[in-house]
């Protein structure tokens, strides 16, 4: 089974870092985000990887090349203009047409969740989305009935709420639902949900971090450096 990494974004919220470097090559704990992703996928047995490139894509090709130095096989799907997540997957169809199903990963996340569990759940549906618990972006203040502060809780998980982790397993039927240009999250997934062709797999006790802002970058760097010897896939 192949894996597809969506790496064509501009990373505008990380400028000026991304003015001369694609977001997936931004380093966290001395390693580009894309390398973290390749190592993660390889650990779970995914050695055939397609990378969707657009903005500053040549820099990605120059660093990653054919993937040989990472022990994987890399192919590239090139966006001549910004296509959105759905359009990028659609554009990569020639490289995925022979696959019954494939894994898709947003290019701005670092995680150790098991993508094989998505593949196992991809039966009688067109897509499976990995979900992770919603974590508060702020610390919580716990008070008693007299409004005396009992404790402070740093960014706790909010029970009962889940978010899209940006990791999917899609069957090849997905190409009939994808836009030529547009986002899969807004144009494809809602339709599949209405047709009851979309499933979720919940991951509670995993590492997951999306890199959207400087704050995310600093937090991920701190976590991965502090847990470097223990962080494993």
Among this protein's residues, is 155 annotated catalytic? yes
Of 155, 202, 215, 228, catalytic: 155
SS3 212: coil
User: Strand, helix or coil at 102?
Assistant: strand
Tell me the DSSP string of 31-49. EEHHHHHHHHHHHTT--EE
Structure tokens at 115: 């993508």
Tokens of 10: 């501009």
Nearest of 230, 200, 77, 184 to residue 130 by alpha carbon: 200
**122 and 199 Cβ atoms separated by less than 8 Å:** yes
Report whether 46 contacts 3 (CB < 8 A). yes
Query: Three-state DSSP class for 128?
Result: strand
Question: Cβ of 192: how many Cβ atoms within 10 Å?
Answer: 20
Q: What stretch of H or E contains 121?
A: helix 116-121
CB atoms near residue 206 (< 10 Å): 13
Q: Which residues are catalytic?
A: 155
């Amino acid at each position: 089974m192949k894996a597809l990494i969506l790496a064509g974004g501009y990373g505008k919220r990380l400028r000026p870092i991304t003015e001369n470097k694609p977001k997936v090559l931004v380093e966290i704990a001395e390693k580009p985000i894309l390398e973290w992703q390749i190592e993660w996928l390889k650990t779970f047995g995914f050695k055939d990887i397609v990378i969707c490139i657009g903005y500053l894509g040549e820099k990605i090709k120059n660093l990653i090349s054919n993937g040989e130095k990472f022990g994987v096989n890399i192919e590239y799907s090139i966006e001549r203009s910004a296509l959105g997540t759905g359009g990028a997957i659609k554009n990569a169809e020639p490289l995925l047409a022979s696959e019954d199903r494939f894994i898709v990963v947003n290019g701005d996340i670092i995680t150790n969740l098991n993508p094989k569990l998505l593949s196992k759940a991809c039966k009688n549906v067109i897509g499976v989305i990995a979900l992770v618990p919603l974590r508060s972006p702020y610390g919580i203040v716990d008070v008693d009935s007299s409004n005396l502060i009992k404790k402070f809780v740093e960014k706790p998980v909010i029970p009962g709420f889940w978010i899209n982790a940006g990791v999917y397993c899609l069957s090849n039927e997905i190409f009939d639902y994808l836009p030529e240009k547009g986002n899969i999250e807004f144009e494809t997934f809602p339709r599949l949900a209405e047709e009851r062709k979309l499933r979720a797999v919940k991951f509670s006790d995993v590492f997951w971090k999306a890199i959207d802002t400087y704050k995310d970058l600093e937090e991920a760097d701190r976590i991965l450096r502090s847990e470097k010897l223990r962080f494993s896939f």
